[in-house]
Structure 1
Amino acid sequence: MSRPLDRHRRFIASLEALADRQDRGALAALRRGLGKKPGEVADLYPYVLPWLPSTASPREENAYVLVAGLFALHPHSWHPRDDEGRSNLGASFARLMASDGSPSIEKRFVALLNCHLDDLPAHLRSAVGLLKAHEIPIDWAQLLSDILGWHWDTRAVQREWARAFWGQSAAQAGAPGAGDTITDQPQSVA
Structure 2
Amino acid sequence: MNRPQLVATADRMVAHLRRINERDPGTRAMLRRGLGRPPEDIANFHAHAVVTRYLPERCDHATERAFYTVAALVAAQPRGARDQEAAEATSAESTDEATAENAAAESTPEPAAPEDTAEGTRRTFGQTLAWAVENGHLKGDMVRERLHLLARYRTDRLHRELPKLVAHLRADLVPIDWGYLLRDLALWDEERDQVAKRWVQQYHRTRDQIQRQRATNGEPATPNNRESEPA
Tell which structure's C-alpha radius of gyration is larger: 2
One-letter amino acid matched to 1:144: L
Matched, 1:112 2:154: no
Q: CA deviation at 1:166?
A: 0.7
Aligned to 1:99: 135
Give the TM-score of the pair, scaled to structure 1: 0.78
Structure with the bigger percentage of helix: 2
Q: Secondary structure at the match of 1:33?
A: coil
Equivalent residue for 1:70, pick from 59, 68, 73: 73
Higher relative contact order (CA 8 A, sep 6+): 2
Q: Deviations over 1:74-130 (max 9, x none)?
A: 246599999945511111111110122523233223322332223101221111111
Give the TM-score of the pair, scaled to structure 2: 0.65
What percent identity do the matched residue pairs reach? 26
CA distance in 2, matches of 1:5, 1:66: 15
Aligned to 1:59: 62
- Relative distance call for 1:61 and 1:83 in structure 2 (3 A) is closer
Structure 2 spans left out of the alignment, 5+ residues: 93-115, 213-229
Structure 1 spans left out of the alignment, 5+ residues: 175-188
**Coordinate RMSD, CA, aligned:** 3.1
Number of residues paired by the alignment? 176
Aligned to 2:206: 168
CA distance in 1, matches of 2:210, 2:194: 24
Aligned to 2:9: 7
Q: Following superposition of structure 1 onto structure 2, how do residues 36-47 of structure 1 map, counting pairs within 5 Å?
A: 36-39=37-40, 40-41=42-43, 42-47=45-50
8 A Cα contact 1:93 1:109, kept in partner: no
One-letter amino acid matched to 2:17: L
One-letter amino acid matched to 1:105: V
Q: Secondary structure at the match of 1:155?
A: helix
